Structure formats: structure tokens, C-alpha cells
Amino acid sequence: MIEKLYEFKIVNDKLIERIVDDDNVAINHMILVKDTGLPEHFSNSNVYMLIIRGKMTISLNDSSPRIYEKGSILYIPYNTKMNVQNLDEEVLEFFVVKAPNPKNFKR
């Protein structure tokens, strides 16, 4: 078998799970319910956020919050301060793709 299968959970509760963590890429799956978010942090690689459900409220480098909806893909460069929240009633679900994997990122 050439391919490798990765699976992720389908739930409506807060969830943060690592799906892929290999030499090439890190992929996380996240679900945030209303009034939850991620701890404020700096991106540790080139980050792509694929929003598949709900609305994401995000502030980058102390900028005013912006809202992005399902069907959006955000690119966030290395070492950007990020504050990600779900302030909406609808569940927010997204994937975070880090390329290259932070453990192999050349700074």
C-alpha cells in the first residue's frame, strides 16, 4: 500500500488533535465552540488555516480582530502573534497546516 491513511474526529465539542507530524508537515484539527479560543502564541512555521465550519475571529500582531468564514484559507507567516477565537454561536472547525514542520523549520 503506497498511501497512508490519517483520520480525524467529527464532534461538536472543543477539540485539538494532531493528525500528521512527519518530516514534511504538521497538520492539526481544531474545533472551538462559542467563546473558546487558542492561547495567544507566535506561529512557529508557515501556517495555513483551512476553515471548514463556522467563523473564526483572529487578531494578528495586535491588529484589530478580523472574521473569516468557512471556505477560507488563511496564510500566516512565521513568527506572527496569533489570537484565535470563536465568538459565534456556530461551532468553528478548521485545520492548521504547518509547512515545513516546525521541528524542521530553518530560522
Per-residue pLDDT of the chain (107 residues; tens, 9 = 90+): 899 999 999 999 999 999 999 989 999 999 999 999 999 999 999 999 999 999 999 999 999 999 999 999 999 999 999 999 999 999 999 999 999 888 887 76
pLDDT of residue 100: 86
Please tell me the predicted confidence (pLDDT) of residue 107.
67
Q: Give the ranges where the chain is alpha helix by DSSP (H).
A: none
Quick one: pLDDT at residue 51?
98
| 1 half-sphere exposure, CB direction, 13 A CA radius | 3
Q: Containing H/E element for 38?
A: none
pTM beyond 0.85: the answer is yes
Superfamily classification of domain 15-104 = Jelly Rolls (2.60.120.10)
Say which DSSP state 88 is in. S
pLDDT at position 101, please?
Answer: 87
Q: Where are the domains of the chain?
A: 15-104
What per-residue confidence (pLDDT) applies to 95?
A: 98
